Chains A and B, each alone.
Chain A
Amino acid sequence: QKEVEQNSGPLSVPEGAIASLNCTYSDRGSQSFFWYRQYSGKSPELIMFIYSNGDKEDGRFTAQLNKASQYVSLLIRDSQPSDSATYLCAVNEAYSSASKIIFGSGTRLSIRP
């Protein structure tokens, strides 16, 4: 069974601090890794994707990938109350048809003022 594991939280972070979200995956053949943000009552929104080992930065967001450890993380710098949401980690299913991806259950992030 291919799995993507996340701590469900809630993760509480003070405003202006760095929020660190983590994810592990079981499928060693996976090549594409995604972070989605989902506000309560809304649909998931793609915020970052990463394909290569190392860091990828986009504004206040940094995705980190370590394929050897099967570990993906998302850092949010200068956290804002608007960052309060559930963050879903997703990983492509290796060798699957139709670009299927597997989602973790999500980490709920709360930014306290």
Chain B
Amino acid sequence: DAGITQSPRHKVTETGTPVTLRCHQTENHRYMYWYRQDPGHGLRLIHYSYGVKDTDKGEVSDGYSVSRSKTEDFLLTLESATSSQTSVYFCAISEPPGHEQYFGPGTRLTVT
């Protein structure tokens, strides 16, 4: 987890409220990713970024948006949280030319 932090680490929120998760890195890596991990589904890519202000959708992007205004920060926003978004969210970073990704400690989000 060195060099990657996520905040908050735990959050409980109510259905319909907006939620923002933050990923912060000190490695100056170009690429950043948001995943969710659920039992039976493994890690699924939500959104990713290939540079400041450059983002794109992953396989499960509905209901999520992202922003990256600085190299070190990648924000994930749930515009109106739903119970189906209860999950563990991981941020990861990567630096080309390698493809290996390094993960942050995760955020456990519960939507009631």
Contact = CB atoms under 8 A, between A and B. Distances in A.
Interface of A: 32, 34, 42-46, 49, 88, 90, 92, 97-101, 103-106
B48 A44 contact: no
Given A32-B100, A88-B42, A98 B106 contact: no
Interface of B: 1, 31, 33, 40-43, 45, 48-50, 56, 58, 90, 94, 96, 98-106
Q: List the 10 closest pairs (A to B, CB-CB), nearest first.
A: A105-B42, A98-B50, A92-B99, A43-B103, A32-B99, A103-B43, A99-B99, A99-B94, A98-B31, A43-B106
A95 to B, nearest CB: 12
A99 B102 contact: no
Contacts of A100: 33, 45, 48, 58
A89 to B, nearest CB: 10
- Main SS at interface, chain A: mixed
A105 to B, nearest CB: 4
Contacts of A43: 1, 90, 103-106
B100 A49 contact: yes
Residue of B42, B58, B94, B106 ringed by the most chain A CB atoms within 10 A: B42
Given A32-B98, A45-B103, A104-B42, 6 more contacts: A32-B99, A44-B43, A44-B103, A46-B101, A98-B56, A99-B96
Contacts of A45: 103
Nearest to A34: B100
10 contacts: A45-B103, A46-B102, A88-B42, A97-B56, A99-B96, A99-B99, A103-B43, A104-B42, A105-B40, A105-B41
Contact of A99 (B31, B103, B105): B31
B5 to A, nearest CB: 11
A20 B75 CA distance: 38
A104 B43 CA distance: 8
Nearest to B49: A98
Given A32-B100, A43-B104, A103 B42 contact: yes
Contacts of B94: 98-99
B40 to A, nearest CB: 7
